[in-house]
Structure 1
Amino acid sequence: MEQFGKEEETKKTSKFQWFLFVVFIPLLFTISVVLLILTFSGINVFEQGKKYASQLPFVSQWIEGTEANEKKKLQQQIVELKATIVEKEKQLTKANDALKEKEGEMDALKQEIARLKAEKEQAQQPTTTPSAEQTNASRVDVVKMYETMSPKKAAEIIPQMSDREAVDLLSQLKTDKAAAILEKMDAANAAKYTSLLAKRSNN
């Protein structure tokens, strides 16, 4: 019995070997040769296979379903990429706005620094004394004012000045105007200023 089982197993092995060496391997070799010949002939074997397979009912449905799924995935990827691009553009716009705001703040700070620097330099400059021309112009203005003033009013104001200022003013007035003012003064002041004017003339 055991020997019979071994014989059956041996027969199955022999049949498989016969199929492998006589049918399968030659068929595989033939298919490979045909594919090589078609490829060298410029025929796209896979495209042709797809074309003929699409004509079969079940195979064509499977191919169409596969293409539809691939197309749907591709469209979904495109939508996701577009959404990503839009989001990046928004972020870039925000960054540009923030940059412009910072540039405006920097410009304002530069202007403020320049203003403070100018004020500091101006504060450090020494105070200039009036020039001789400005002083002479001021004196001329005072003389003109007393020239047009009434002698009585001038006689009341001049004694309130120092002797030097009073003599300087009276010496620059016209002779008749100075005489009219002295006439309106009391005798003591009139005598004092007349004496001072005389000494100034002698010097």
Structure 2
Amino acid sequence: MDNKVEKQKQKKSKSKFQLFLFAFVIPLLFCVMILLIVATVSGVNVFEKAKEYGSKIPYISSMVAGNESKKTDSKQTEDTIIKLEAAVQDKNTQMNRLKKQLEKQDRDKEKLLIEKKQLEEEIEELRNEQDPNKRAYKDIIKTYEAMTAKKAAPIIISMEEAEAVKILSQLNTETLAKIMEKMPPDKAAKFTELLSADTSN
């Protein structure tokens, strides 16, 4: 019995829904479709008109405004991101340019230091050449190097030890060895000892 009553209720609710659907919803949709076709053919933008009329209705206008503000906010955010990315790129370019400038300055500084050292050496050399005593001393050394060891050895032995050591220390190795061979063994040993001490100092 209950089942029959339940079934009858379900049938009634279905028939009411079908009646509502066929009597109201379908004709309404049909009318809306016809209106859309007519409006489109006559050149009226239905969606723009709907937005315009909707903005005059209190609740719907706030929804439309909310959507518009969201779009505006989104556009502003995108613009801000683009500007910030451009600023970052600009800063990177500036940093790279400064880095290259610093590297060039370091290279220029190193080059200047080398040139300075070369100039100082040239100045020192010129000063040495201008000093008559140094020029004369160089000439003396050249003279001893040009002499035979047999002639040079007795002259050096007869000098004061300090002066003899000074001359011997400036001679090239080959000339020094030949002169030492021509000296008496005790003198050769003495000068060798003095030269070693002078070199270590």
With the shorter chain as reference, the TM-score category is: 0.3 to 0.5
Larger gyration radius, structure 1 or structure 2: 1
Task: Calculate the TM-score normalised by the size of structure 2.
Answer: 0.46
